[in-house]
Amino acid sequence: MKRFIIRKVLSYTLPKSSKPYPMKVIFADGSSFRPVSGEPEITMIFKTRGAEWRTLIFNYIGFCESYRNGTIDVEGPDALEKLVRMNYAIPKEYKRSNPLAWALQRIQEYRLDNKDFKVELDNLYRHYNLPAEFFHLMNGELYGYTEGYYETGAETQNEAQFKKYDYICKKLCLRPGNKVVEIGTAWGTMALLMAKRYGANVVNYGLIPEQNRVFEERIQKMGLGKKIKNVVRDARVLGEEKEQYDKYVSLGVYEHAGMNCYREWLENIASALKPGGIGVITFTGHMNHRMMEYFVGKYIWRGCYLLSLARVLGAMEDNDLHAVDIENSSFFYADTMRAMLGNLNKNWERIKAIDPTIFDEKFRRTWNIYYVGASESFYASGVTNHKAFQITFVKGVHDSYPRTRNFLYEKPCDLSDMKEYEVPFASTLSTTQIPGVIQHRT
């Protein structure tokens, strides 16, 4: 009966996709069918009856969980990407919501909410406190996280990341001597560039031991100890520093504010910025509100809350933070996810060797489906509602921001000193684990 229903559902929905790929489905008993005719470019193999039941009952959540644990295989050149792309291209009228999936998402949203600081730390540690060399191999020699700036489309991963950091510095209108607070600089490249190239004095709020270790080593190596101060503090106490900062920046961190704290984050930013102060906040979210996707929220971005643009802008206005520029950088993020997906597969043997107890086959499959799903969802953002935003804002109604955007583009990004910020793979920083680090567990 379950196989009959799976046949009917897939044979009805998949051919409706505007991007159909010939596909074959093989069940655990060896029987098969072709929901999309033609020589198969995608072969989906159910290896157990349990995988069939999981997929039938929980739909895409069941499929993802079964793919993760190896009870479903997807074979063929770029087959997983094609399967996800085909699914996203199915018109909404042919898709049905799953009440069980909705309930799982809602329960997870409340269970992992970051309102409790201990829960927040655990959520953050499970992702960012993985061995730094994993992220080094994934993100390139600049440790560049979030969307790169693929200005021409011909940039290398490092070039796109370096251009991104410089682009954000320009958006901040940085000047020598500016006092800047950055929430979550990760492994440090943004803070290093602000201090060295632009002469800013930077305070970073960083909670992750493994990130802080790499960041502080880079600070010392570049001789920027007098320009950068790294503090282990939570973003929700930033407001204790009343009107201390000229500039504020956070790149891809606001998602971690969580369901019940996103307004509190903005209140603290408003308190810490001087009147007329400028800030840039980048985040992934939606145009209309939607819950965090279950599988990614469980294994990748625990406790994250992907806000709608309307909610963010409304909360900013309530705190006297006024948007002066909003940019949709979704395709940049899609390109970045593609680069990281390539790195994951190219460097998998090196990643696995870091610690086979962490970087096992389940890990590889989990991150594979995450990168594929993320990149394809950004490319299909008209259907998925998944966006990446960069918001530039000013505290108070002050005429302190340039009235045109010419200054952002009048000079090309200077890449001449990029190598100074890189950490070559051949001479990586120390990989010693810090005592007390919460290790990754699934």
434 pLDDT band, cuts 50/70/90, is: very low
Residue 85: which pLDDT band, with cuts at 50, 70 and 90? Answer: very high
46 — pLDDT class (breaks 50, 70, 90): very high
Position 179 pLDDT exceeds 60? yes
Q: What is the mean pLDDT of residues 367-381?
A: 93
Mean pLDDT of 116-134: 93
Beta bridge partners of 182: 204, 249
Which tens digits make up the pLDDT trace of 221-241? 999 999 999 999 999 999 999
Whether 442 has a pLDDT exceeding 60, the answer reads: no
Mean per-residue pLDDT, 79-95: 91
Q: Say what the pLDDT of residue 439 is.
A: 34
Mean pLDDT of 144-162: 95
Residues of the chain with CATH 3.30.1050.10: 2-96
Q: Is the predicted pLDDT of residue 72 greater than 70, yes or no?
A: yes
Question: What confidence tier does 440 reach under pLDDT thresholds 50, 70, 90?
Answer: very low
| Predicted confidence (pLDDT) at residue 54 exceeds the cutoff of 80 | yes
| Element housing 331 (H / E) | helix 330-346
3-class SS of residue 197: coil
List, in order, residues 6 or more apart from 269 with CB less than 8 Å away: 238, 239, 248, 279, 281, 319, 321
Residues 6+ apart with CB under 8 A from 111: none
Q: Where in the chain is the domain with CATH 3.40.50.150?
A: 117-427
| Predicted local distance difference test score (pLDDT) of residue 433 | 37
Element (H, E) at 324: strand 321-328
Contacts 24+ apart (CB under 8 A), 157-163: 157/336, 157/339, 157/343, 158/418, 158/422, 159/415, 159/418, 160/332, 160/335, 160/336, 160/339, 161/189, 162/189, 162/193, 162/413, 162/415, 162/418, 162/421, 163/413, 163/415
pLDDT-derived band at 426 (thresholds 50, 70, 90) equals low
**Predicted TM-score (pTM) of this structure:** 0.92
Residue 2 near residue 29, CB atoms below 8 Å: no
Q: Binning pLDDT at 50, 70 and 90, where does residue 357 land?
A: very high
Tens of pLDDT along 8-28?
Answer: 999 999 999 999 999 999 999
Give the per-residue pLDDT at 430: 44
pLDDT, averaged across the chain: 93
Across residues 130-150, what is the average pLDDT? 96
Residues 216/429, Cβ–Cβ less than 8 Å: no
- Dihedral over alpha carbons 280, 284, 288, 292 (to 10 degrees): -140
Which pairing describes strands 201-205 and 273-286: parallel, antiparallel, or unpaired? unpaired
- Record: fold of 2-96: Nonspecific Lipid-transfer Protein; Chain A (3.30.1050)
* Lookup result for tokens 């929700």: 236
Domain 117-427: CATH class, spelled out? alpha beta
pLDDT score, position 21: 96
